[in-house]
Structure 1
Amino acid sequence: MSFVITWTTEFETGIDIIDEQHKRIFEYLEEIDHAIKTHNADEVEHVIKSLIDYAISHNTFEESLMEKAGYPMLEPHHQVHEAFKARAKSYSDRLVQGEDTFRVAREIRTDIGLWLTNHIKRDDKHYVSFVKRNIEGGFVARMLGKFFR
């Protein structure tokens, strides 16, 4: 059974660059699903590595916005991201250790998909208004101006 979560407007934060990065993560999940359906183990492994690298990089970027805005809940949010990184690394380790590629991929597709949707709707939505409010008119707003709407 296929389980892919797709991007909808309910996941929009209103910060264009963040929304584009989140959409790309959803696309990676769809690519994993496609690779599973075509039984392409090499593609599965490539997409999993790309997804994990991209998601970790996105989390770091997101934290940089929060830090520049003086977001008071940055440290708890960072800890959530660190837990995600550890979980993602455990999937990579399982692949390296020779565990069934498709089983790991199906777990990632579901687990990361559910984690992502919950994280965006709960944790990310919490920082958005603060980041927008505290960045508007400042240097970061001018730097990222085109990414806000």
Structure 2
Amino acid sequence: MAYQWSSDLETGNMQIDTEHKALIKAINDLLDACNGGKGRAEVEKTVNFLSSYTKTHFAHEEVLQQKYKYPDYNNHKKYHEGFIAAVDSIREKLLANGPSIALVGEVNLKVGDWLIRHIKREDVKVASHIKNSTK
């Protein structure tokens, strides 16, 4: 299942939206590498990028939340920590065992689906808060 960027994922914050697009591409690249039999080296490259970029993106979001005193910062940070743990767990499994049907399902559920829900439910609230704080 390929994840697509759509207007309902837009937060209105250019930095956040650009990074979300890159995360969605990284998830799709990982799924393609796992499903397409592209070999262990390509799977490792894509999962390592996803893991690293996730941490970078969340750090950027959290700096913005602190700068604009986002009231639900602590909960939002916990969501990020849970997602990072899920990505790292999948990364460890992929590096140890290679791709499998079960792991592809886990990437879809715990990474792709989670990110889409998180953007729609949480990140739009953050972006709205930032926008209202800069008026």
TM-score scaled to structure 2, two decimals? Answer: 0.89
Is the 1:11–1:117 Cα contact (8 Å) retained in structure 2?
yes
Which runs of 5 or more structure 2 residues have no equivalent in the other structure?
none
Is the 2:30–2:46 Cα contact (8 Å) retained in structure 1?
yes
Deviation at 1:116, TM superposition (A): 0.6
Is the 1:32–1:109 Cα contact (8 Å) retained in structure 2?
no
Q: Does 1:30 align with 2:20?
A: no
Q: Counterparts in 2 of 1:7-46, with a 5 A limit?
A: 7-41=5-39, 42-46=41-45
Which runs of 5 or more structure 1 residues have no equivalent in the other structure?
138-149
Q: Larger C-alpha radius of gyration, 1 or 2?
A: 1
Query: 2:34 is aligned with what amino acid?
Result: I
TM-score scaled to structure 1, two decimals? Answer: 0.81
Provide the identity percentage: 29
Map of 2:113 onto structure 1: 114
Map of 1:93 onto structure 2: 92
Is the 1:36–1:102 Cα contact (8 Å) retained in structure 2?
yes
Cα deviation, 1:60-110, whole Å, max 9, x if unaligned, reads 1101001000111100100111111111111122234x2232443453144
Q: Counterparts in 2 of 1:99-138, with a 5 A limit?
A: 99-103=97-101, 104-134=103-133, 136=134
Map of 1:143 onto structure 2: none
Query: 2:33 is aligned with what amino acid?
Result: A
Cα deviation, 1:108-144, whole Å, max 9, x if unaligned, reads 144311001000000111111111222x27xxxxxxx
Q: What is the distance in 2 between the residues matched to 1:105 and 1:117? A: 17
Q: What is the distance in 1 between the residues matched to 2:30 and 2:91? A: 14
Deviation at 1:44, TM superposition (A): 1.5
Q: What is the distance in 2 between the residues matched to 1:77 and 1:110? A: 19
Is the 1:48–1:105 Cα contact (8 Å) retained in structure 2?
no
Aligned length: 133
Q: What is the distance in 2 between the residues matched to 1:39 and 1:56? A: 27
2:2 is paired with a residue of what secondary structure? coil
Cα 1:62/1:88, change in 2 over 3 Å: same
Q: What is the distance in 2 between the residues matched to 1:64 and 1:81? A: 13
Is the 2:86–2:111 Cα contact (8 Å) retained in structure 1?
no
